[in-house]
């Protein structure tokens, strides 16, 4: 059994075949899926999907790209209200993205900090998206030492990975790990302690090899887990068990489900 710890099932890429997509993943051994919110206006759509499938869970949060529309007083309270739903197991994705810079940096920081504060009040983990913003990301996290969570779709430096681990955060690997050029990432994947690793697809984006360039979907989580097992010299069942246990430890509001409906 594997968990896809991060995907976006409400995105238009899935609108024509969501039930089939979820079934394909189940048949490939993906027995738990976390679908992640990027705009509060879509939080209820995610909750509907999670209500339909007992093994699908969801989050509440604003992607750093969309921070400009949400970074104002009261964001934290809105997040807390939406997170009351029983299938909401985490806050995010939030963080800082200074690669695309789609929202002004000060607004990204304001939104990030309101998410961190909400996550502490709710006692839920936070899902962090960070790109080209190492220093400010770590600074924000240090301002909220009680927060816990995961650096999702990790693609940063070894230095950032070590700082994340020092702060007791988890690190999640996506299909990027299967790419030939991801040499530094492969080195990072070898040293992250086994009890700190998660796997994800971030689908519909970033399909792993051998599906690169096509639409990604939760069923492909196994390709990343296979590469991870190989890099660490352990078996596929062992990496599956470890990443699954880590998921349920971090996202403790999520429970194992025995059915796909």
**Which residues here bind Zn ion, judged by CB under 5 A?**
93, 129, 202
For Zn ion, give the closer residue by CB, 66 or 93: 93
| Three-class DSSP category at 91 | strand
Cβ atoms of residues 7 and 202 within 8 Å? yes
CB 38 to Zn ion: min, Å: 7
| Three-class DSSP category at 165 | helix
CB 202 to Zn ion: min, Å: 5
CB 6 to Zn ion: min, Å: 6
| Three-class DSSP category at 226 | helix
Strands (E), the chain: 2-7, 30-35, 56-60, 88-97, 126-131, 149-151, 170-173, 197-199
Cα–Cα distance between 194 and 174 in angstroms, integer?
Answer: 16
Backbone phi, psi, residue 30, to 5°: -90, 95
For Zn ion, give the closer residue by CB, 93 or 110: 93
CB 252 to Zn ion: min, Å: 21
For Zn ion, give the closer residue by CB, 9 or 242: 9
Tell me the residue number closest to Zn ion, measured at CB.
Answer: 129
Q: Which tokens in the block code for residue 66?
A: 């969309």
| Three-class DSSP category at 110 | helix
CB 205 to Zn ion: min, Å: 7
For Zn ion, give the closer residue by CB, 202 or 217: 202
For Zn ion, give the closer residue by CB, 83 or 153: 153
């Amino acid at each position: 059994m594997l968990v896809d710890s991060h995907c976006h099932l409400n995105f238009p890429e899935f609108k024509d075949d969501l039930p089939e997509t979820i079934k394909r993943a189940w048949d490939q051994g993906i027995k738990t899926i976390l679908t992640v919110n990027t705009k509060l206006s879509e939080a209820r759509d995610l909750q509907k999907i999670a209500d339909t499938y007992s093994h699908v869970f969801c989050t509440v949060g604003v992607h750093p790209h969309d921070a400009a529309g949400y970074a104002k007083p009261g964001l934290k309270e809105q997040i807390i209200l939406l997170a009351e739903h029983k299938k909401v197991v985490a806050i995010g994705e939030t963080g800082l993205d200074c690669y695309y810079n789609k929202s002004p940096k000060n607004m990204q920081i304001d939104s990030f900090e309101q998410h961190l504060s909400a996550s502490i009040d709710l006692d839920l983990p936070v899902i962090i998206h960070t790109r080209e913003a190492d220093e400010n990301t770590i600074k924000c996290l240090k301002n909220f030492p009680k927060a816990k969570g995961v650096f999702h779709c990790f693609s940063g430096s070894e230095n950032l990975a070590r700082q994340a681990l020092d702060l007791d955060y988890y690190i999640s690997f996506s299909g990027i790990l299967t790419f030939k050029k991801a040499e530094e990432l492969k080195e990072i994947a070898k040293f992250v302690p086994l009890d700190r690793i998660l796997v994800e697809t971030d689908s519909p984006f970033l399909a792993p090899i051998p599906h690169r360039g096509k639409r990604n979907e939760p069923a492909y989580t196994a390709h990343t887990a296979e590469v991870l097992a190989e890099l660490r010299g352990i078996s596929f069942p062992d990496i599956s068990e470890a990443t699954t246990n880590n998921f349920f430890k971090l996202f403790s509001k999520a429970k194992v489900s025995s059915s796909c409906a």
